Protein backbone atom coordinates (compact mmCIF):
# COMPACT_ATOMS: atom_id res chain seq x y z
CA UNK A 1 0.00 0.00 0.00
CA UNK A 2 3.07 2.14 -0.04
CA UNK A 3 1.93 3.60 -3.32
CA UNK A 4 1.68 7.09 -4.65
CA UNK A 5 -2.01 6.82 -5.34
CA UNK A 6 -2.77 5.73 -1.84
CA UNK A 7 -0.61 8.36 -0.27
CA UNK A 8 -2.31 11.00 -2.33
CA UNK A 9 -5.79 9.85 -1.76
CA UNK A 10 -5.64 8.81 1.90
CA UNK A 11 -5.46 12.31 3.47
CA UNK A 12 -8.60 13.28 1.61
CA UNK A 13 -10.24 9.98 2.43
CA UNK A 14 -9.33 10.33 6.07
CA UNK A 15 -10.78 13.81 6.37
CA UNK A 16 -13.95 12.67 4.65
CA UNK A 17 -14.26 9.70 6.98
CA UNK A 18 -13.71 11.84 10.04
CA UNK A 19 -16.35 14.31 8.90
CA UNK A 20 -18.71 11.45 8.16
CA UNK A 21 -18.05 9.95 11.56
CA UNK A 22 -19.02 13.25 13.19
CA UNK A 23 -22.22 13.32 11.17
CA UNK A 24 -22.97 9.75 12.27
CA UNK A 25 -22.27 10.73 15.82
CA UNK A 26 -24.56 13.73 15.82
CA UNK A 27 -27.41 12.11 13.96
CA UNK A 28 -27.16 8.94 16.01
CA UNK A 29 -30.03 9.78 18.24
CA UNK A 30 -32.59 9.60 15.48
CA UNK A 31 -30.99 7.46 12.81
CA UNK A 32 -28.64 4.53 12.90
CA UNK A 33 -25.37 5.73 14.32
CA UNK A 34 -23.98 7.14 17.54
CA UNK A 35 -20.79 7.47 19.47
CA UNK A 36 -19.62 3.88 19.16
CA UNK A 37 -20.08 3.64 15.42
CA UNK A 38 -18.78 7.14 14.78
CA UNK A 39 -15.76 6.43 16.94
CA UNK A 40 -14.99 3.26 15.01
CA UNK A 41 -15.22 5.10 11.69
CA UNK A 42 -12.86 7.81 12.88
CA UNK A 43 -10.48 5.22 14.34
CA UNK A 44 -10.42 3.36 11.03
CA UNK A 45 -9.71 6.63 9.27
CA UNK A 46 -6.67 7.35 11.43
CA UNK A 47 -5.47 3.76 11.23
CA UNK A 48 -5.68 3.94 7.46
CA UNK A 49 -3.81 7.22 7.47
CA UNK A 50 -1.14 5.63 9.62
CA UNK A 51 -0.75 2.68 7.28
CA UNK A 52 -0.50 4.86 4.22
CA UNK A 53 1.66 7.71 5.49
CA UNK A 54 3.32 6.43 8.63
CA UNK A 55 2.58 6.97 12.27
CA UNK A 56 4.34 10.27 12.82
CA UNK A 57 2.00 12.36 10.61
CA UNK A 58 -0.99 10.86 12.40
CA UNK A 59 0.41 11.78 15.76
CA UNK A 60 1.09 15.29 14.50
CA UNK A 61 -2.41 15.56 13.07
CA UNK A 62 -4.00 14.39 16.31
CA UNK A 63 -1.84 16.83 18.26
CA UNK A 64 -2.83 15.18 21.56
CA UNK A 65 -1.74 11.71 22.54
CA UNK A 66 -4.58 9.34 21.62
CA UNK A 67 -4.87 8.00 25.15
CA UNK A 68 -5.24 11.58 26.42
CA UNK A 69 -8.11 12.02 23.98
CA UNK A 70 -9.64 8.84 25.35
CA UNK A 71 -9.21 10.03 28.91
CA UNK A 72 -10.79 13.36 28.07
CA UNK A 73 -13.75 11.56 26.53
CA UNK A 74 -14.15 9.54 29.70
CA UNK A 75 -14.06 12.75 31.69
CA UNK A 76 -16.66 14.37 29.45
CA UNK A 77 -18.97 11.39 29.62
CA UNK A 78 -18.77 11.25 33.38
CA UNK A 79 -19.25 15.02 33.60
CA UNK A 80 -22.36 14.95 31.46
CA UNK A 81 -24.15 13.16 34.28
CA UNK A 82 -23.75 15.95 36.78
CA UNK A 83 -26.18 18.59 35.47
CA UNK A 84 -29.02 16.23 36.28
CA UNK A 85 -28.08 16.48 39.94
CA UNK A 86 -29.05 20.19 39.91
CA UNK A 87 -32.47 19.14 38.72
CA UNK A 88 -32.72 16.65 41.58
CA UNK A 89 -32.97 13.67 39.28
CA UNK A 90 -30.60 10.68 39.29
CA UNK A 91 -27.08 10.83 37.89
CA UNK A 92 -26.93 10.68 34.06
CA UNK A 93 -30.61 11.48 33.53
CA UNK A 94 -30.97 13.16 30.13
CA UNK A 95 -31.71 16.91 30.09
CA UNK A 96 -32.73 18.82 26.98
CA UNK A 97 -32.57 22.43 25.76
CA UNK A 98 -34.09 23.70 22.54
CA UNK A 99 -32.51 27.09 21.96
CA UNK A 100 -33.77 28.96 18.90
CA UNK A 101 -30.80 30.13 16.90
CA UNK A 102 -32.88 31.60 14.11
CA UNK A 103 -36.55 32.18 13.49
CA UNK A 104 -38.18 28.79 13.64
CA UNK A 105 -34.94 26.81 13.77
CA UNK A 106 -34.47 24.93 16.97
CA UNK A 107 -31.24 23.14 17.82
CA UNK A 108 -31.81 20.31 20.22
CA UNK A 109 -29.01 20.14 22.78
CA UNK A 110 -28.86 17.60 25.49
CA UNK A 111 -26.66 15.92 28.06
CA UNK A 112 -26.99 12.56 26.24
CA UNK A 113 -25.37 14.31 23.30
CA UNK A 114 -22.43 15.35 25.44
CA UNK A 115 -22.30 11.81 26.79
CA UNK A 116 -22.26 10.41 23.26
CA UNK A 117 -19.43 12.77 22.30
CA UNK A 118 -17.56 11.41 25.30
CA UNK A 119 -18.14 7.87 24.07
CA UNK A 120 -16.91 8.87 20.62
CA UNK A 121 -13.71 10.32 22.06
CA UNK A 122 -13.04 7.28 24.25
CA UNK A 123 -13.46 4.87 21.34
CA UNK A 124 -11.39 6.95 18.95
CA UNK A 125 -8.64 7.54 21.48
CA UNK A 126 -8.25 3.98 22.72
CA UNK A 127 -8.47 2.28 19.36
CA UNK A 128 -6.18 4.74 17.62
CA UNK A 129 -3.75 4.35 20.47
CA UNK A 130 -3.64 0.57 20.02
CA UNK A 131 -3.61 0.71 16.23
CA UNK A 132 -0.80 3.25 16.08
CA UNK A 133 1.18 1.28 18.63
CA UNK A 134 0.85 -1.84 16.51
CA UNK A 135 1.74 0.06 13.37
CA UNK A 136 4.89 1.37 15.03
CA UNK A 137 6.53 -2.05 14.43
CA UNK A 138 4.85 -3.09 17.64
Partner 1 sequence: MIGFAVLTPFFAALFAPLLVYLIGHRAAWILAIVPGYLAYRLLEFTAPVARGERILQSHSWLEGFQVNYSFMIDGLSLTFAFLILGIGFFIVIYAGGYLKGHPHLGRFLATLLAFMGSMLGLVLADNLITLFVFWELTSITSFLLIGFDHERMAARRAALQALIITGLGGLVMLAGFALIGIVGGTFELSELLTKGDEIKQHGLYSLMFWLVMAGAFTKSAQVPFHSWLPNAMEAPTPVSAYLHSATMVKAGVYLLMRTYPMLGETDLWETVLPIFGGTTLIVGTVLAVRDTDMKLMLAYTTVASLGLLVMMLGVGNERAVEGAVLYLVAHSFFKGALFMVVGTVDHEAGTRQIDKLSGLRSAMPITALAAMLAALSMCGLPPFVGFLAKESIYHAVTHGGWHEGIIAGVAIIGNALMFGVAASIAIRPFTGKWVDPPKAVHEGSVMLVLGPIVLSILGLATALFVLEMMQAHFFKPMISAVAGQDVAVDLHLWGGLNPALVLSVLTVGLGLFVFVYFKKFRKAFDGILNFIGWGPDKGFDQAICVLGFVARHVTRLLQSGEMRTYMRATLFVVAITLLWPMYQFEVWPLRPQFPELRLWEAGVFGILAVGILQVIFSKTRLTAIVSLGIQGFSVALIFMMFGAPDLSFTQFMVETLSVVIIALVLTRLRLMQHDGRGPAAFLFDGLVAIGVGVGMGALLMAITEAPLDMRLSEFFSTYSAAIAHGRNIVNVILVDFRALDTLGEITVVLITGVAALALIRVRSSEKADEKTTSTMTGGSDAEGENALAGKDAS
Partner 2 sequence: MESYLSILVGLYFAGSVFLLLSQSLIRVLIGIALLGNAVNLLIFTAGRITRGVPPIVPDGLKAASSSIANPLPQALILTAIVISFALFAFVLVLTYRAYEATGTDNTSKMRVAEPTETIRLPEGY
Q: Where along the sequence are the contacts to partner 2 (CB under 8 A)?
A: 30-32, 34, 36, 39-40, 123, 126-127, 130-131, 133-134, 138
User: Whole-angstrom Cα distance, residue 4 to residue 89?
Assistant: 56
Query: Which listed residue (13, 50, 62, 85) binds partner 1 by CB under 8 A?
Result: 50
Question: Which does residue 107 bind out of partner 1, partner 2, none, counting CB within 5 to 8 angstroms by kind?
Answer: none
Question: Which CB sits closer to partner 1, 22 or 94?
Answer: 94
Q: At what angle do helices 111-135 and 55-62 cross, to 10 degrees?
A: 160
Find the shortest distance in angstroms from Cβ 53 to partner 1.
6
Strands 109-110 and 96-97: antiparallel
Cα 16 to Cα 22: distance, rounded to the nearest angstrom: 10
83 burial (CB, 10 Å; 0-12 / 13-18 / 19+) is: middle
Is residue 31 near partner 1 by the rule CB under 8 A? yes
Closest distance of CB 74 from partner 1, Å? 5
Amino acid sequence: MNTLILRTIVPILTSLMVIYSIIVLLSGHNQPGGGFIGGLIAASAFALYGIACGVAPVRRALYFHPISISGFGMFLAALSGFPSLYEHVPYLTGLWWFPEIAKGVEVPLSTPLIFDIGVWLVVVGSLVSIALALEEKV
